[in-house]
Amino acid sequence: MKSLITILAATGALLASPIAAGAPPAPPVPHFGAVVSLSDAANQPDPAIAYRVVFDIDAAASDKSAPHPSLVKVARFLNLLATKGVRPRDGDVVAIVHGPATPSIMTHEAHKERFGTENPNQALIAELEAAGAQVHVCGQALHAQKIAASEVAPQVTVDLAALTTLATLQLRGFALIAD
Protein backbone atom coordinates (compact mmCIF):
# COMPACT_ATOMS: atom_id res chain seq x y z
CA MET A 1 0.00 0.00 0.00
CA LYS A 2 2.88 2.33 0.81
CA SER A 3 4.30 1.92 -2.73
CA LEU A 4 0.88 2.72 -4.25
CA ILE A 5 0.74 5.96 -2.25
CA THR A 6 4.27 6.80 -3.40
CA ILE A 7 3.30 6.19 -7.04
CA LEU A 8 0.15 8.32 -6.70
CA ALA A 9 2.13 11.12 -5.03
CA ALA A 10 4.77 11.01 -7.78
CA THR A 11 2.07 11.04 -10.46
CA GLY A 12 0.45 14.08 -8.85
CA ALA A 13 3.80 15.85 -8.73
CA LEU A 14 4.36 15.16 -12.44
CA LEU A 15 0.92 16.47 -13.35
CA ALA A 16 1.62 19.67 -11.43
CA SER A 17 5.07 20.15 -12.99
CA PRO A 18 5.74 22.93 -15.52
CA ILE A 19 6.18 20.37 -18.30
CA ALA A 20 2.63 19.12 -17.80
CA ALA A 21 1.42 22.73 -17.54
CA GLY A 22 2.57 23.53 -21.10
CA ALA A 23 6.08 24.87 -20.48
CA PRO A 24 8.28 25.19 -23.56
CA PRO A 25 10.17 22.05 -24.52
CA ALA A 26 13.66 21.45 -23.20
CA PRO A 27 16.34 23.09 -25.34
CA PRO A 28 17.99 20.70 -27.80
CA VAL A 29 21.43 22.03 -26.80
CA PRO A 30 20.94 22.21 -23.04
CA HIS A 31 24.38 23.36 -21.85
CA PHE A 32 25.12 26.05 -24.44
CA GLY A 33 23.30 28.92 -26.13
CA ALA A 34 20.84 29.85 -23.40
CA VAL A 35 17.80 31.82 -24.57
CA VAL A 36 14.89 33.68 -23.03
CA SER A 37 11.43 33.04 -24.40
CA LEU A 38 9.74 36.31 -25.39
CA SER A 39 6.25 35.31 -26.44
CA ASP A 40 5.22 38.86 -27.42
CA ALA A 41 8.32 39.58 -29.56
CA ALA A 42 8.06 39.89 -33.34
CA ASN A 43 9.50 37.35 -35.80
CA GLN A 44 9.03 34.20 -33.76
CA PRO A 45 10.19 30.85 -35.20
CA ASP A 46 7.56 29.56 -37.61
CA PRO A 47 6.69 25.85 -37.36
CA ALA A 48 5.52 25.97 -41.00
CA ILE A 49 9.06 26.75 -42.24
CA ALA A 50 11.66 24.05 -42.92
CA TYR A 51 14.72 25.80 -41.49
CA ARG A 52 17.86 25.02 -43.52
CA VAL A 53 20.78 27.16 -42.38
CA VAL A 54 24.54 27.22 -42.88
CA PHE A 55 26.72 29.10 -40.41
CA ASP A 56 29.95 30.52 -41.87
CA ILE A 57 32.44 30.41 -38.98
CA ASP A 58 35.81 31.98 -39.76
CA ALA A 59 36.69 34.34 -36.91
CA ALA A 60 39.25 33.39 -34.29
CA ALA A 61 38.00 32.87 -30.76
CA SER A 62 39.41 35.55 -28.49
CA ASP A 63 39.39 33.17 -25.51
CA LYS A 64 40.91 29.78 -26.35
CA SER A 65 39.75 28.39 -22.98
CA ALA A 66 36.03 28.96 -23.67
CA PRO A 67 33.70 27.55 -26.34
CA HIS A 68 33.91 29.43 -29.66
CA PRO A 69 31.21 32.15 -29.66
CA SER A 70 30.11 31.30 -33.21
CA LEU A 71 29.56 27.64 -32.33
CA VAL A 72 27.58 28.84 -29.31
CA LYS A 73 25.52 30.91 -31.78
CA VAL A 74 24.56 27.69 -33.58
CA ALA A 75 23.36 26.26 -30.25
CA ARG A 76 21.42 29.46 -29.53
CA PHE A 77 19.73 29.25 -32.93
CA LEU A 78 18.56 25.68 -32.27
CA ASN A 79 17.40 26.63 -28.77
CA LEU A 80 15.51 29.67 -30.10
CA LEU A 81 13.68 27.52 -32.64
CA ALA A 82 12.76 25.08 -29.88
CA THR A 83 10.95 27.82 -27.93
CA LYS A 84 8.18 27.45 -30.53
CA GLY A 85 8.53 23.70 -30.92
CA VAL A 86 10.53 23.94 -34.16
CA ARG A 87 13.19 21.29 -34.72
CA PRO A 88 15.05 21.26 -38.04
CA ARG A 89 15.63 17.90 -39.66
CA ASP A 90 19.00 16.28 -39.01
CA GLY A 91 21.56 17.90 -41.30
CA ASP A 92 19.51 21.02 -41.99
CA VAL A 93 21.75 23.11 -39.72
CA VAL A 94 25.42 23.09 -40.74
CA ALA A 95 28.38 24.99 -39.32
CA ILE A 96 31.37 25.28 -41.66
CA VAL A 97 34.54 26.20 -39.78
CA HIS A 98 37.54 27.70 -41.59
CA GLY A 99 40.19 30.40 -41.43
CA PRO A 100 41.31 31.47 -37.95
CA ALA A 101 38.42 29.48 -36.38
CA THR A 102 39.82 26.16 -37.64
CA PRO A 103 41.58 25.07 -34.42
CA SER A 104 38.20 25.00 -32.64
CA ILE A 105 37.49 21.57 -34.18
CA MET A 106 40.67 19.85 -32.98
CA THR A 107 40.73 16.82 -30.69
CA HIS A 108 41.51 17.39 -27.03
CA GLU A 109 44.98 15.92 -27.47
CA ALA A 110 45.92 17.98 -30.54
CA HIS A 111 44.50 21.17 -29.01
CA LYS A 112 46.41 20.57 -25.78
CA GLU A 113 49.64 19.96 -27.66
CA ARG A 114 49.24 23.15 -29.69
CA PHE A 115 47.62 25.50 -27.14
CA GLY A 116 48.30 23.94 -23.74
CA THR A 117 44.63 23.22 -22.91
CA GLU A 118 42.03 20.68 -23.91
CA ASN A 119 39.60 21.86 -26.57
CA PRO A 120 36.72 23.69 -24.84
CA ASN A 121 34.51 23.10 -27.91
CA GLN A 122 34.28 19.32 -27.71
CA ALA A 123 31.23 19.13 -25.42
CA LEU A 124 29.48 21.80 -27.49
CA ILE A 125 30.20 19.99 -30.77
CA ALA A 126 28.86 16.75 -29.25
CA GLU A 127 25.63 18.49 -28.14
CA LEU A 128 25.21 20.11 -31.56
CA GLU A 129 25.59 16.71 -33.20
CA ALA A 130 23.07 15.18 -30.76
CA ALA A 131 20.63 17.96 -31.72
CA GLY A 132 20.98 17.09 -35.42
CA ALA A 133 23.36 19.88 -36.45
CA GLN A 134 26.51 19.12 -38.41
CA VAL A 135 29.93 20.68 -37.91
CA HIS A 136 32.21 20.70 -40.96
CA VAL A 137 35.73 22.02 -41.40
CA CYS A 138 37.51 23.33 -44.47
CA GLY A 139 40.15 20.91 -45.73
CA GLN A 140 42.09 23.78 -47.27
CA ALA A 141 42.26 25.54 -43.90
CA LEU A 142 43.42 22.33 -42.23
CA HIS A 143 46.25 22.08 -44.76
CA ALA A 144 47.18 25.76 -44.42
CA GLN A 145 47.30 25.52 -40.63
CA LYS A 146 49.10 22.18 -40.62
CA ILE A 147 46.31 20.35 -38.81
CA ALA A 148 46.26 16.68 -39.75
CA ALA A 149 42.98 14.85 -40.40
CA SER A 150 43.80 12.68 -37.36
CA GLU A 151 43.72 15.86 -35.23
CA VAL A 152 40.11 16.66 -36.19
CA ALA A 153 37.43 15.74 -33.64
CA PRO A 154 35.57 12.60 -34.75
CA GLN A 155 32.15 14.35 -34.93
CA VAL A 156 33.48 16.87 -37.48
CA THR A 157 33.28 16.31 -41.24
CA VAL A 158 36.23 17.41 -43.36
CA ASP A 159 35.05 19.15 -46.55
CA LEU A 160 37.12 20.01 -49.61
CA ALA A 161 36.75 23.73 -48.92
CA ALA A 162 34.52 26.13 -47.05
CA LEU A 163 34.08 28.03 -50.32
CA THR A 164 32.48 25.06 -52.06
CA THR A 165 30.43 24.06 -49.01
CA LEU A 166 29.00 27.56 -48.64
CA ALA A 167 28.17 27.83 -52.35
CA THR A 168 26.69 24.34 -52.60
CA LEU A 169 24.47 24.66 -49.52
CA GLN A 170 23.20 28.11 -50.52
CA LEU A 171 22.38 26.83 -54.00
CA ARG A 172 20.46 24.03 -52.31
CA GLY A 173 18.34 26.58 -50.44
CA PHE A 174 20.20 26.99 -47.15
CA ALA A 175 20.12 30.46 -45.58
CA LEU A 176 23.55 31.89 -44.73
CA ILE A 177 24.39 33.21 -41.29
CA ALA A 178 27.82 34.85 -41.47
CA ASP A 179 30.28 35.24 -38.62
pLDDT higher for 14 or 32? Answer: 32
**Helix-strand-coil percent breakdown of the chain, rounded to 5?**
40, 15, 45
Domains of the chain: 27-178 (3.40.1260.10)
Residue 4 predicted with pLDDT over 70: no
d(CA 52, CA 43): 17
- Predicted model pTM: 0.85
d(CA 82, CA 151): 33
Give the pLDDT confidence of 28-70 residue by residue, as tens digits: 999 999 999 898 999 999 999 999 999 999 999 998 889 999 9
Give the pLDDT confidence of 108-117 residue by residue, as tens digits: 999 999 999 9
Name 152's bridge partners.
106
d(CA 83, CA 46): 10
Give the pLDDT confidence of 129-155 residue by residue, as tens digits: 999 999 999 999 999 999 999 999 999
Type of residue at 18: P
pLDDT score at 26:
85
